[in-house]
Structure 1
Amino acid sequence: MSQKPPKFPSTRSLVVVREATEEDLRLMASDVIRYLPEGLFPRLGKRFVRRWMKTFLTEQYGVALVAVTKDAPRQQVGFLVGSTNQIHHVADVLHQHKWGLLFSGLAALSIRPRVLLHFLRTRARPYLRRLLGRTNGPVAGANPRPATAVITSLVVLPTLRGGGIGRLLVEEFLNRAVADRASLAELVTAAGAAGAGAFYKKLGWTCVGERHSKDGAPIHTYQRSLP
């Protein structure tokens, strides 16, 4: 018996952006590893990435959005994770999930010796400082920094890019950032054709700096002021 080909969403179908759920995390983690492989977290595997991404579902300032289409409502065509106040989100994650993420990360590193060696060379010291609470968080009485919303990951299926899905996800994220009184939005993307700088420029973001990641790759920081 021949099987029907899987129904794939059309760019002409109505796109709906909704809150991500725990059931969405498996596919979201797979897509991060597949389409955003740069950095440490994707190299730690799906189990760790799912655990990390779950913090955007559970914490107050976390945002996890999924885009689906009307003709395939259970199939993700894109997603976005970020925070509407990065400083407070990181503080909440360290307070609530520090040890769980630490043990999950160590377990992932223990079976990936090359990733472990790379981690020791490039990230071990700052990660230990953060885990031990030796970094500066929000301090009462200090001059407050502007509340900054940060897009951490944005993925749209390659075959559906250019159809407005990414724009919808970003607009919904910015609406939530404004509602949480963020005055600035920020993100980092790879420099050149490997990154999404051209996409964000079309949406009104401005490149404000260039530097190299911990892995030595050139990256650009983009910002957008919020009302």
Structure 2
Amino acid sequence: MRVLLVEDDAPVAAGIEAGLALSDFVVDTVSTVDGARGALSAIDYDAVVLDRRLPDGEGLTLLQQWRRAGVATPVLMLTARDAVASRVEGLQGGADDYLVKPFDLDELTARLQALLRRSAGQVDCSLRHGRLALDPVARSVMLDGVPVALVRRELMLLEALIRARGRILSADQLKDRLYGIDDEIESNALNVHIYQLRRKLGREAIETVRGIGYRLGPLSADRPCQGDTPS
């Protein structure tokens, strides 16, 4: 999942980036209100981690502007203020969750994962599609109750497709969920990941909708085929 981090303290930002990367989050970091405004207008993020105090303004003011504009992206707000009144103000201003500095990176990750579950209407931790179950916390996949070994990008791609709930995602939308702004992307990288998922889950695991994009297939009872070719 792709997260926008708005944090002007470079060491704190680096620590958050590293911690979230361990759970396969793709993190884009900006340090100002203007940077956050531009990033969110350009990219469809799954969540935002927003510091309250920024060099060019208040994170809470920015959040209130987003909510008035109809931006529903889940936001976890960070602050050094520990007063109850401050936390209440942030939640009433549109934050979905609140975390006071200093915080534990594991707690930040867990809160983000819970926030994403709530936004998707999930009750338990696992994402399910027919015979397939993906646990975003354990970073594990089961097909018919049997573990399936996926590398990082394959797992991220599968998670994006499951969360889409049958919607068709374009190649650009999928790349947005797999790669950050500064990542170098080879021209055939997405096709390779799709090929590997089909090989491991079955040739019908991912449907190609010609001229539009991809969606998760029905995952029929056919066994995975080792002879598929990329498409």
Structure with more contact order per residue of length (Cα contacts < 8 Å, sep ≥ 6): 1
Question: Which bracket does the TM-score occupy, shorter chain normalised?
Answer: under 0.3
TM-score (norm 2): 0.25
TM-score (norm 1): 0.25
